[in-house]
A and B are shown apart, each in its own frame.
Chain A
Amino acid sequence: MKKLIYINLIFATLLFSTGCKKGFLTDLAVNPNQPSQAPASLILPPILTSYASNSYFSSAAIGLWMGYYSISGGYSTDNNSMTYYVSAASPSNWDNLYSILKNAAYIETNSASDPNGAYSVAAAKILKAFGFQILVDGYGNVPYSQAFQGSANFFPKYDNGQDIYDSSIAQLDNAINLILNAPSTTTNLGSNDVMFGGDMTQWAKFANTLKLRYLIRESNVIAASAAQAEIAKTASVGYLTSDAMVNPGYLNSAAKQNPFWASYGTDPGGSLVSDGYNYLRAGGAGVNFFQDSSDTRLFYVYNADNSSPDRADFFTIDDDFDHYHGVYYGDRAAATAQNNKGTAGLGLGVLGGFDASVPLMTAAESYFLQSEAALRKWTGDDALTLMQNGIKASYEFLYTRGGKSLADADAAADTYISLHATVVDLKAIITQKWAALDGVNNFEAWTEYRRTGYPNTTVLPLTKFPGNARHIPTKLMYPTSEANTNQDNYKAAVAQGNDPQSTKVFWMK
């Protein structure tokens, strides 16, 4: 048999050497249908756009918990959606985030060797820190150090949330340094940067504000001196003073509209997305907060009741406070009684329009973070001014999306501030932040609630659903897909706590 093999091989080799060119086989391994390499400039736009679409920011469930929304009486619901129930079933948010992060990790790794790739690497690091904060804040311990390794590791271990925080803060510093020290030949991100249009100063500010968000989140568990030292390192960069918003050039065609407009606004033909708009109604806590202080942001965060009078054109600004009604979370009786006609919907300031940009982080949030840092004496700035700036930025954001001028926004903000925001304390800052985040970043509002307990139950009462025993969740549950695909690590993580009603993320008191 062995001899046969040799004969055969000689025979075959002879034929190949005469008949085949080099690369006869290997040339065909290259996929002609899909590229296997891609420049950072092409990967960046979907990362930013996916973050913009990621349902976390405007998650309906979290919006319900935060008192921003209620569910129409015209739709049947189960008790779970009225009682802070968290299901482990859907892995989509988890998988979406990791999938976005994988692309950022790809840029971080592949552009590192590009002598002109500093900006791409910096943006990738910032966007990784941005995503991992959402993961840790949502789930607690999650895979970080062993994620994205392909066949080298299909079973990534879960890292401690604190470790991920520390690493992310270091990476943000790293990114800021890359931007500040980039050689002049560095490739500008240009229009592929669908957030800042290639303005790296804005990226640095975004990174620094994100770092401040990280530090503030840890405020209960780290020493003030440590926070002060971290802030001082990058103090010269400054913080966001305008909104960090994504817009790839949203179009009025299917799948290309602003994602929230596509869900709750109008379809490309201009018809109301009825099952979106009419399903999610205004929450009692949100509406009442604005009404109680004659806060005109009400007209932008919400759209007047469907029957105010019967509306033909939904997305116009109605400035009559009496035309807005919300239903408290869990109050099915009220929801049924009001049905759709007697309740408000989501407003133009939040939804913007089919081509509206999607905020990843607003200037308002930046000011509220700075205000809290000042309040904690981490910086020497004036907490009250910064809080007032945050309120004003919130007005500007909502008014301009509602088609009003900055001057109108500022005038209305000044009136409101003079009456309702003259004293600063943690409760005031976080309550104002909660108001500013309504429909803008529900997830952040929930996270700050978990950290500070504000807004308290006078502003944000617990669910009105009869007999409810649950309270506002403290974490999201790991998806069941992890139990199937990453069993051992999942079990270890669950052993440390996975109960949405009692397990606390590391930064919680």
Chain B
Amino acid sequence: MRRFLALFAVLMLSGVFAFAQDHSVKGHVTGPDGNSLPGITVQVKGSNTATATNANGQYQITAPSNATLVFTGVGFEEQSINIGSRTTLDVTLASSTKRLNEVVVTALGIKRQERALGYGTKTVANSELTVSKPVTIGEGLTGKVAGLQINTVNNGVDPGIRVVLRGYRHLNADNQALIVVDGIAVRSNFLSTINPNDVASVTVLKGASAAALYGVDATNGVLVVTTKRGGERGKPVIEFNNTTMLESVSYMPPLQNKYSPGSGETGPYPWDPNYNFQNPYTGEILYVPYENQNFGMEFNGDPNLGYIGGPGPDSTFFKTPFKGINPDPRRDFFQTGYRIQNNLSYSGGDNKNSYFLSVQDVSTKGVVPHDQGRRTSLYVSGVKTYGKFSANYNLSYSQKYSNTAGPDFAQGRPVYWNLLNQGANIPLNDPRLKNPNSPYFLDLYYNGYYPNPWWQIYNSRVISRTNYFTGVLQLNLEATNWLNLTYRAGTQFTDFYNSNTIAATGYSPFRIADSWQTGGTYPAHVNGQAAYTNANARNISQDIIATLHKKFGDLDANLILGNVIAEKPYGNDYSSQTNVSSDQLFVDNFYNTNYRIGELSGSHYIEQTRLMSGYGDLTLGYKNSLFVHGSFRRDWSSLLPKGRNAYNFWSADASWVFTDAIKSLQNQDLISYGKLRVAYSNTGDITLTPYNIQNVFDVPGNFPYGSQAGITLNPAYRNPNLVPEKTIEKEVGLELGLFNGRINLDADYYTSLTSGQTFPVSVSGTTGYASAYVNAGDVLSQGVEVGITATVIQNNASRLKWDVGGNFTWNGSNVQSLYQAVKDFNIGGYGGLTGSVHAVVGQPFPVIETVDIRRDPQGRAIIDPANGYPVLGDTLQIVGQVNPKYMLNLNTTLSWKNFSLNVQASYRGGNVFYAYVGSQLNFTGASEFTTQNGRQRFIYPNSVYLQDGKYIPNDKYYTQDGNANFWTNSAYADAGTSYIENAAFWKIRNVSLSYDFKDLIQNVHWIHGLTFSVIGKNLLMFRPSQNVWTDPEFSYTTGNAQGITNYDQLPPTRQYGASVNIKF
């Protein structure tokens, strides 16, 4: 029947086309990554007319109008398209899931067959990267690769990003992956600088084996970013994209709006003796209208209390109803921000020469009023071919700008902190508080202890501007059919400027005299402050690579020899930073440090490093099904002293495509593709920062005394005997294509042992030093990574397709030893946490250590019967690991006709984090959490008391206070564990629904593509109910001391908007 129908259709069409005129159709065929596809068969359906694309993916064929062209090629899915009356038809083919001959960009830009790789990699193509129109490629990569953890550690207009592959291995050094763009290493913050639309693909080299050719920088894995080249299809293509997203706070910690400001003060109102609203028994004032804490009486609308702060000099009050404002004024303070991306690209070229140009502008308005950011970038790339010689280049320039609210003048606190110290009855958006000219803006601002958050919005600004310039030139010579020579030179310049200016301010005599008797201090004048930082950095690297390729019967040999002279890529081969600041500017609103009293503070730092290496890389392929690969590299580094600055690194791996090698497995559908792989590598890392092999002298803090100079030995001992750290990684993997490629599975197991780490251990002061750099400490990391993609539904007739993908990562780390008897090493911490982040022998790395309340053997809280409060423990305890043990990402695309719906979700779990905001909100009494017992005395839950040597369940000792005293002064408030939360979450990271107007425009010659999408990001997040505070992905640092969040991160936000893409 079907056959009959097909025949019928052909007959029908023939009938129609009998009158149609044949005409020439040409076009360009590209793969999903945007690369040209040579050798694709193009056939006019129902005829014998056929051609193939040339080396640049171009084809030309003569076909009747309204004919259907069928595009087929090994490794790609067949595609049929009705040409209508078009004379140009560009086609993008989807990968066939059989994965026969995919080419992957591996270390140092070397292209290798996917099937030959013996280690774990994953390539994310542009289409996948930009599906949700991210502003940064860090955002675009999040959740797409098993084993890759990308954290956006903050929000705001230019958030920090942290990129880690396969967990942590370095105790004291950076654990972030190396980022390589077109062969040159760049700083990790470049991930948030480069325009994702300019990226052709990102290959993730997950482990040290894959990255071994990067020598000393291989251990953390590598993200290899390849930028776009021209379209190569003769005619220029202009593409324009606009994505406009709105951003708003998705949730804040639940804030109470039931209880008024107060902190348990006693004694009559100093200024209002006639209305003593006090507890007659305790003398406690029930509403203290200048308090930052919120432990006062319940709001009840009492008109006598309808004011905030004290009376002004004219004895009038700032009147406001005595009730919590709805919507909450603290949340309402945040505005709806936006991100507008405009992207224009122009590309084209012919067989030998191509070009690609793009301009992008990203304009951001933050959720904090007046916060704004902008990123403008220009990108040019091209290819030129002259016979056997070709040149390939790209240049990019981008400028990143941000202008955000800085710290306040009084305590240097951020906006969020000051916001959380305001009461629920404070109309923060009232013009009287918001207008800088209003007396209530600062001088008569109600709060006795923390300034109006609007003050710093207007008066404290942090402006930063970074210019990036990147250039890469690659020259290629096809010397013979077996020898290819490549020379590559690349550079990146970064120029960074940052200023933080805080306006001069002061109070009137009325407030200086503390007329409201708050006990606060109100200076008559605080001088203006200005701090400036200028930094610049430069990377230069050059590579010379010779590739030898020869076939010997069934044996295919590929040898690569190379040499690199480069920077140490964690930083720069040259960088300098100059800081200048003064907090004593005497001309108001004039921020030049020349106009100051007192001394100028300043510092200058420069750093320069070099790295040279020679490497070789040999791949042997047997019958295109068994591959053995080895690489060797020797590095010479300026970071270590002469004689011990050269080190060898090597790796070996094998890949076996058993579905091709074993006869019985060939050409069957159940297991259509199967590959086993195994890899071993011995790599190292010089994690030492520059200049750590010689002892140095400092200028002590008190020197110089006028003209009397003096210097003293730095307390950290620089060990001249250090050697690089060593990482042994072993990896096995399995790749399967099932049911003729409908389901694909990729699984890895790896272990990696990093030993002889360089870190400063505390040493006895009797050595004359406080710490010394040593080689010590072993960290074992192991994990499982599983990636799966499945086409659940594919119905070509109804153009319905449903793809489901997912990846799962388990990473377990264990500190096996530290140094000698040292069992515990402090990685770093934050002042708000009692305790810090540690490496502890026998534990995952890193863990948080903090103080808990005292507990009986069953874990119940031991209370003090005298006051009913729990008792604070006296030792630091390990409370959990800070990196997720499990990560699961799900990604699904449902397409029907021209609609396509993509949803991406992530789970992370098995770790904990510290929410300093929780501690602060309980302290201020602003959290709903503090109202759980109605601010009344209560029995501490799950508590016991000690009686006659036994722990008796507590059913009678009520806390002596359920209000301010408990929440600010008890062991519960002091214990770090009270704010340690389970960091697990599920996030719907991205949802995008797009419509392709290809049907509409198929007869419009000058438009080649038009799509429209609606996009939502971080629309939903599910957390354990205990974590009411914030997003556990946040962190106060991008360093190793993860797991701590504070009020420097804004509340989590969600984004939603639309995108339009048009191609000419």
Contact = CB atoms under 8 A, between A and B. Distances in A.
Given A15-B614, A34-B714, A36-B697, A194 B708 contact: yes
Contacts of A149: 767
A280 to B, nearest CB: 22
B710 A7 contact: no
A151 B772 contact: yes
Contacts of B680: none
Given A12-B614, A151-B720, A253-B599, A25 B710 contact: no
A91 interface: yes
A50 B703 CA distance: 11
A106 B713 contact: yes
Given A7-B616, A8-B614, A147-B766, A45 B561 contact: no
A482 B710 contact: no
Nearest to A144: B766
Interface in A142-188: 142-143, 147-151, 153-156
Given A7-B561, A20-B565, A43 B710 contact: yes
A471 interface: no
A256 B702 contact: yes
Contacts of B610: 24-25, 28
Given A36-B697, A46-B712, A102-B769, A154 B763 contact: yes
Contacts of B712: 43, 46-47, 50, 99, 103
Contacts of A419: none
A467 interface: no
Interface in A61-102: 91, 94-95, 98-99, 101-102
- Of the candidates B608, B691, B697, the one having the most CB atoms from chain A within 10 angstroms of its own CB is B697
B618 interface: yes
Given A28-B610, A43-B711, A33 B765 contact: no
B666 interface: no
A474 interface: no
B768 A102 contact: yes
B561 A8 contact: yes
Contacts of A13: 614
* Majority DSSP secondary structure for residues of A touching B: helix
A194 B700 CA distance: 16
B634 interface: yes
A7 B614 CA distance: 10
B765 A94 contact: yes
A151 B761 CA distance: 12
A495 interface: no
A5 to B, nearest CB: 6
Nearest to A482: B764
Interface string B691-722: 10111111011110111111111110101110
Contact of B695 (A36, A191, A487): A36
Given A45-B709, A95-B770, A143-B766, A34 B691 contact: yes
A42 B691 contact: no
A403 interface: no
B342 to A, nearest CB: 43
Contacts of B719: 150-151
Contacts of B606: 32-33
A143 B764 contact: yes
Nearest to B546: A11
Nearest to B640: A29
A94 B767 CA distance: 11
Given A26-B642, A248-B705, A250-B705, A31 B694 contact: yes
Contacts of A466: none
A45 B697 CA distance: 13
Contact of A256 (B697, B705, B765, B767): B705
A472 B639 CA distance: 53
A49 B702 contact: yes
B768 A99 contact: yes
Contacts of A154: 763-764, 767, 772, 774
Interface in A105-129: 105-106
Contacts of B650: 1
Given A25-B636, A102-B713, A150-B717, A156 B694 contact: no
A26 B720 contact: no
Given A19-B565, A99-B715, A151-B719, A28 B765 contact: no
Nearest to B772: A154
A191 to B, nearest CB: 7
B1060 interface: no
Contacts of B544: 15
Q: Which residue of A34, A35, A250 has the most chain B CB atoms within 10 A of its CB atom?
A: A34
A150 B764 CA distance: 11
B615 A49 contact: no
A220 interface: no
A502 interface: no
A4 B618 contact: yes
B711 A38 contact: yes
B702 A153 contact: no
A193 B709 CA distance: 11
B470 interface: no
A114 B984 CA distance: 65
B75 interface: no
A29 B694 contact: yes
Contact of A98 (B559, B640, B768): B768
A251 B765 contact: no
Nearest to B615: A8
Contacts of A150: 695, 717, 719, 767-769, 772
Q: Which of B630, B707, B766 has the most chain A CB atoms closer than 10 A to its own CB? A: B766
A485 interface: yes
A101 to B, nearest CB: 7
Contacts of B763: 154, 485-486
B776 to A, nearest CB: 11
B708 A12 contact: no
Contact of B561 (A11, A32, A103): A11
A42 B710 contact: yes
A255 B717 contact: no
Interface string B650-693: 10000000000000000000000000000000000000001101
A98 B705 contact: no
A508 B630 CA distance: 72
B694 A147 contact: no
A493 to B, nearest CB: 11
Interface in B615-660: 615-616, 618, 630, 632, 634, 636-642, 645, 650
Contacts of A91: 765
A22 B636 CA distance: 13
B473 to A, nearest CB: 17
B77 to A, nearest CB: 40
Contact of B705 (A249, A481, A486): A249
B920 to A, nearest CB: 26
Given A32-B608, A481-B765, A46 B706 contact: no
B152 interface: no
A337 interface: no
Interface in B205-253: none
Interface of A: 1, 4-5, 7-9, 11-13, 15-16, 19-20, 24-36, 38, 42-47, 49-50, 53, 91, 94-95, 98-99, 101-103, 105-106, 142-143, 147-151, 153-156, 191-192, 194, 248-251, 253, 255-256, 479, 481-482, 484-487
6 contacts: A15-B544, A28-B690, A31-B696, A49-B702, A102-B768, A148-B767
The list of the 7 closest CB pairs from A to B, nearest first, reads A12-B614, A102-B768, A95-B765, A31-B691, A45-B710, A34-B696, A486-B764
Given A4-B630, A99-B768, A481-B765, 17 more contacts: A15-B563, A15-B614, A24-B610, A28-B608, A28-B610, A34-B698, A36-B694, A38-B697, A46-B700, A49-B710, A99-B712, A142-B766, A150-B767, A156-B767, A248-B710, A479-B765, A485-B764
Interface of B: 544, 546, 559, 561, 563, 565, 598-599, 604-610, 612-616, 618, 630, 632, 634, 636-642, 645, 650, 690-691, 693-698, 700-703, 705-715, 717, 719-721, 761-770, 772, 774, 821-822
